[in-house]
């Protein structure tokens, strides 16, 4: 795990030096979500009812903005080739990139979701559950996104292709997350939805780095 931690530490330092992509991700999320109160200002009840879906869709779309650069910059400056030829296993490279993407993109989105949800009319005592559910969703997005980023590495318009590949796979998590938030707002049990979300994350955890490592090997051979 030392190699994984080293990759996460390196990406974090690079983020501090050039974090425009992740800042843009957070800015996109906040700005798009803030448009809905203006559009639904005459119907606060409809805004509150739609708050969970708004936050989830905005967060998933914002998270996709930074995925296509996860491997791209390392591939352009030769760092990725050096990593692939080093003793570090490809799945460890993929796991490190997945963790760094969530820490630098997914986690800020989860933290920003709390004030945004309050702005959309969600009671503060319900926002915590929504953010917890969204945390599982962003982890799942990072898992699938890393595999997609490795698959589309080097292709033209990789961002668009990545979105086409990953977005359909995010639909089950999106449905469960919105249903969990709506159940919490209605004071209904949410445990079943959270357990299903956790099951998706756990099932994907070994598969995503393995798939990403296979795609990285294909890229190295080409």
pLDDT at 144: 93
Residue 93 · residue 150 · CB < 8 Å: no
Predicted confidence at residue 140, as pLDDT, reads 95
- Per-residue pLDDT tens digits for 169-214: 999 999 999 999 888 888 888 999 999 999 999 999 989 989 988 8
Mean pLDDT of the chain: 86
CB-count exposure of residue 16 (10 Å: 0-12, 13-18, 19+): exposed
Whether residue 18 has pLDDT greater than 70: no
Residues 64-109: pLDDT tens digits?
Answer: 888 877 888 778 777 887 888 888 888 888 898 899 889 888 899 9
Query: 16: part of which helix (H) or strand (E)?
Result: helix 2-17
Place of tokens 């993407």: 101
pLDDT category at 11 given cuts 50, 70, 90 is confident
Q: What are phi and psi of 68, to 5 degrees?
A: -70, -15
Sign of CA dihedral 85, 91, 92, 95: positive
Q: Average pLDDT, stretch 134-157?
A: 88
Note the pLDDT of residue 202.
95
pLDDT of residue 177: 92
Contact in structure between 116 and 81 (CB atoms under 8 Å): no
Buried b (16+ CB within 10 A) or exposed e, 179-198: bbbbbbbeeeebeebbebbe
pLDDT at 46: 82
Within 10 A of 69 (CB to CB), how many other CB atoms are there?
17
Cα distance between residue 154 and residue 113, in whole Å: 33
What backbone torsions phi and psi does residue 153 show, to the nearest 5 degrees? -60, 130
Question: At residue 146, does pLDDT exceed 80?
Answer: yes
Provide the H-helix boundaries in 71-187: 72-77, 79-85, 90-101, 107-119, 124-151, 158-185
- Dig out the tokens for 115 from the structure: 């004030």
Query: Residue 218 — very low, low, confident or very high, per pLDDT cuts 50/70/90?
Result: confident
- pLDDT(55) > 70: yes
């Amino acid at each position: 795990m030392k190699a994984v931690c080293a990759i996460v530490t390196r990406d974090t330092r690079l983020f501090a030096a050039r974090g425009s992509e992740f800042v843009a991700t957070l800015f996109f999320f906040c700005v798009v979500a803030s448009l809905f109160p203006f559009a639904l200002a005459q119907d606060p009840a409809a805004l509150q009812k739609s708050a969970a879906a708004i936050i989830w869709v905005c967060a998933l779309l914002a998270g996709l903005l930074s995925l296509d650069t996860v491997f791209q910059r390392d591939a352009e400056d030769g760092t990725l080739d050096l990593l692939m030829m080093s003793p570090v296993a490809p799945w460890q490279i993929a796991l490190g990139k997945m963790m760094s993407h969530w820490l630098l993109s997914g986690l800020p989105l989860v933290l920003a979701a709390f004030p945004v949800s309050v702005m959309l009319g969600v009671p503060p005592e319900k926002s915590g559950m929504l953010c917890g559910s969204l945390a599982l969703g962003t982890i799942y997005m990072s898992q699938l996104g890393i595999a997609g980023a490795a698959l589309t590495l080097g292709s033209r318009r990789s961002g668009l292709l990545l979105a086409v590949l990953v977005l359909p796979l995010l639909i089950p998590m999106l449905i469960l997350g919105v249903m969990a938030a709506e159940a919490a707002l209605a004071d209904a049990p949410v445990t079943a939805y959270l357990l299903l979300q956790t099951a998706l994350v756990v099932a994907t955890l070994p598969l995503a780095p393995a798939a990403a490592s296979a795609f990285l090997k294909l890229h190295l051979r080409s």
